[in-house]
Structures are given as C-alpha cells and as structure tokens.
Amino acid sequence: MSRRAATLTAASVIVIVLAIIGSAMPVPYVALMPGPTSNTLGTNDKGQPLIRIDGRQTYPDGGHLNFTTVTYRGGPGGRIDLFTALRGWIAGDTAIVPEETIFPEDESPKKVDEENTRQMQDSQQSAEAAALHELGIPVTTRVVVDGIQKGRPADGVLKTGDEITAVDGAKVTNVAEVTGTMAKHKIGDSVTLGYTRAGKAATTTLKTVATPSGDRAAVGVVISDQYKFPFKIDISVGDIGGPSAGLMFSLAIIDKLTPGSLTRGTFIAGTGTITAKGEVGPIGGIQQKMIAARKAGATVFLTPKDNCPDAAASRPGGLRLVRADTLHGTVQALNALTTGKGDVPTCE
C-alpha cells in the first residue's frame, strides 16, 4: 500500500471513529424548535372550543388569533448527542442553548414541568382579568397561598389554598397590599395574618424571619392573586405550559365578548405574557415562534416590545411584525391594521 493510500485510510478510520463517538456522546445542550400553533378562536385537539365562555353573550369569529409554542429536544435523562447539536447550530429554525437555560441545576425536570403548568394556569387567570378589565367588566381579587416554605414560620400553620384576608387587622384583597404591609415590618417583628380555610375564618400571629436574600422580613409563604369573575371562562390547551400565550388569550376573550371581529379575515399569530393590568411582557424562543406562525399561515405576528430587536433581525419573509406594549394598545393596533385607519406600531 502506498503512503498516500495509507494516509487516506487512516484519515477515513479517524473520521468514522469520530462519527461514532459524536453520535453517542451526550452534550449538556437543548435544541429549541418551532412548535405547534393553536387558534384561540378555534377548537382544541378534542374538538372542544379552546376558550369557552358561559353566562355571558358571546359573538362568533371564524378568524385566527394563534398562540405559538416552542418544542425542545434534550435535557437531563435524555440529552442530545454532539451531532444533533451541530446540526441544530447549522439549521436556521433551531436554537441550541445550554441545558441550564431550560433546566436549572437545582430543579428536577419534574419540577420544571410543574412550574410550567403553574405558569400556564396563572397566565390564563391574568389573561381573563386583563380582558375583562379592558372591557370595563368588574373583577374581584383575593390572595391565596400557593406554597409554604419548609422550616419557615408559616410551616405547619398555613396551608396551600388558604385565603389571606388581613394583615395586622387591615383587610387585603391583592398581593400588592400584603407585600406593602409586610415591607413595613423589620426582621424579628410579629405579624398577624387573618385567613380563611374551608370557609372558616381564623387568625395567626407569626414572628418574621429574613428572606433568603436577608433584606426583608417574611414568614415563608408563597402567595398569588386569584380572581373572581362574574361569569365562567374555560381555557383548554392540554399539556402546554408556560406563560407566553397570555396576550393571545386576552385578545380572544375580548373578541368573543364583543360584536364584530378583531381579525377581519387576517391570519394573526403572536406571543407575550400578560399581567392583570394588561401589560405585555417578553418571552423566549421568539425566532422559533415566528417560524411556526409563518408555517401555519400567519401574515401578522404580535411581538412584545422587548422582543422586537431579535424579532426584526430574524423575521421570516411574508410576516409583518406588530409591536405589542399593552393589551389596550394591541387592540387599537389590530383595529388600525384591519381597517386601514390609524397608525400600527411595528418592530421595524
């Protein structure tokens, strides 16, 4: 065998060995890809309305207000291999991110899934509250215990599901009022909490301790606002998690509760978190979500203002970006877009 042939043979063997090693070598990265989109004005995979409203007159709209998702491959227990990561870096529709971006080191995959489910539930409540606020429909709030921190003063005293009704004798109806009163306490002070459990009222006095950061007084409860609506709104999205569909839920609820159409035949998709006050927040995976929207047929994509720079830099052809700052502003933007009357805020 000539020296050249031997060199080529050796090189080929090395390439094959590296290929075998690469195909089997797991790497601590996650591949993010465009996920399915769902029309908030349509039905879910069971053929049921994705958003159903009972106890209030609704109006049909056959248009599209699609929320978008991101799917992933990899993670603890199922890491992608080196070649998959390399292909993802080359592919235009895939993002390769460090594993800890999706799965923090101190949280198990199960915990991450549970947190995503909780975020979806919270986003639905916020979306409903924001939509009704936009329509001028009264909504009442209450403060509910979401969790108890083990070993803290509230552990063994309060329970998940308790409603906090008062702090130091003053009635509270939202989280801001609770945190505002707690901020007046010094570490080591005593605080009296009024609460209800299974319809029964009670009070407890707890001695505050420092938060993990050491800068505030706390008793070790995780609380959230819950809303009482004047009629029933059900949102059914299956096992999709995370908070990023909030804006689209709010728009669909508004569309269903008002005559006429927000879309007027335009295929609109979008993303964005929402607060009960109607503030739109940024999300992750904007590039993958835009690709998913365009593949589904969308020509307009509602984009949180903080995501605009990245969105504008990677916008798919044929997709118009409409900037979403607030729910109220987004409704106005859609009316201007579909009627041709008024300014439409953009990312470009």
Task: Give the DSSP letter string of 304-330.
Answer: EGGGHHHHHHTPPTT-EEEEESBHHHH
The DSSP element (H or E) to which 128 belongs, if any, is helix 109-134
Largest CA distance in the chain: 94
Question: What is the signed CA dihedral for 297, 302, 304, 310, rounded to 10 degrees?
Answer: 40
| Inter-residue long-range contacts of 335-341, CB under 8 Å, 24+ positions, other chains counted | 335/262, 337/266, 337/300, 338/261, 338/262, 338/263, 338/264, 338/265, 338/266, 339/264
Q: How far apart are CA 165 and CA 157, in angstroms?
A: 15
Q: Are strands 209-210 and 95-98 parallel, antiparallel or unpaired?
A: unpaired
Which residue's entry shows tokens 């801001």?
176
Angle between helices 109-134 and 246-257 (to 10 degrees): 30
Rg value, the chain, Cα: 25
Catalytic residues: 244, 289
- Token pair of 156, please? 């063994």
Which phi and psi angles does 316 have, rounded to 5°? -65, 150
Q: How far apart are CA 130 and CA 195, in angstroms?
A: 26
- Quick one: how far is CA 198 from the chain centroid? 30
Ramachandran assignment for 341, one of left (phi > 0), alpha (psi -120 to 50 degrees), beta (any other): beta
By residue count, the chain amounts to: 348
